[in-house]
Amino acid sequence: MAKVPFLDQFLGVYVSWARATPLVTLALFIFLSFPSFGINLDKHLSAILCLTLNTSAFNAEIWRNAFLNFSNGQKEAAEAIGMSRLVYFRRIMFPQMVIVSLPALVNEMSFLIKGSPAIAVIGVVDLTRVTNRIAAVTYEPLGPILCAAVLYMCIIGLLIKLQHLAEQKASNLAA
């Protein structure tokens, strides 16, 4: 949506590439290829960059969709009363975009949390890897796996609860 042609094309390619690349592949690409360009990142920074690049591409599409589906009538009304574009965006457009985008943003965040075990491929220890280590030591895989599942459910459940609270607060403000 950028008005600068090169930037628009670059971001379009980036978003398409990052959304189409599996997290495991992206993690390996960052961790193994960056040193050949003289950029030495440890495994934790590589994991953070991987997850950031992946989720930012999906978030860009969520925000773009919210922006494109916004009513022009409100913009025209804001212009008619002399409201600047910045004030219009801050007071009218952005709050409504957040409300519309919230379910998709929370969904993306839950996918990111559930996809984070993919970074174990570069040696970063996550909840699933800890579960596997405990299971390997105790020879009892069921207990650790169930604990990990419950922890993931609690984290995602808390995220969804926060989403519902934000939606309720937004609907109360709108009423």
**Domain limits for position 74:** 5-174
Phi, psi of 39 (to 5 degrees): -105, 105
Q: Is the pLDDT reported for residue 171 higher than 80?
A: no
- The tally of CA atoms less than 13 A away on the side-chain side of residue 122 is 25
Cα distances (Å, whole numbers) of residue 26 to 21, 51, 90, 118: 6, 9, 35, 9
- The tally of CA atoms less than 13 A away on the side-chain side of residue 10 is 6
Question: pLDDT per residue over 96-122, tens digit each?
Answer: 899 889 999 999 999 999 988 999 889
Question: pLDDT per residue over 11-33, tens digit each?
Answer: 999 999 999 999 999 999 999 99
Q: Is the pLDDT reported for residue 147 higher than 70?
A: yes
Question: pLDDT per residue over 132-146, tens digit each?
Answer: 899 999 999 999 999
pLDDT at 173: 72
Give CA 91 to chain center in angstroms. 24
Of residues 154, 155, 58, the one with CA closest to residue 113: 155
- Report the CATH number at residue 109: 1.10.3720.10
pLDDT at 8: 87
What band does 123 get if pLDDT is binned at 50, 70 and 90? confident
What band does 1 get if pLDDT is binned at 50, 70 and 90? low
Q: Is the pLDDT reported for residue 150 higher than 90?
A: yes
pLDDT at 13: 94
36 vs 173 pLDDT, higher one: 36
What band does 175 get if pLDDT is binned at 50, 70 and 90? low
DSSP secondary structure letters along 72-122: HHHHHHHHHTT--HHHHIIIIIHHHHHHHHHHHHHHHHHHHHHHGGGGGGG
Question: pLDDT per residue over 33-58, tens digit each?
Answer: 999 999 999 999 999 999 999 999 99
Which range has highest mean pLDDT (68-72, 73-77, 105-109)?
A: 105-109
Measured distance CA(51)–CA(70) in Å, rounded: 29
Measured distance CA(26)–CA(18) in Å, rounded: 8
Which amino acid is it at 79?
E
Domain count, the chain: 1
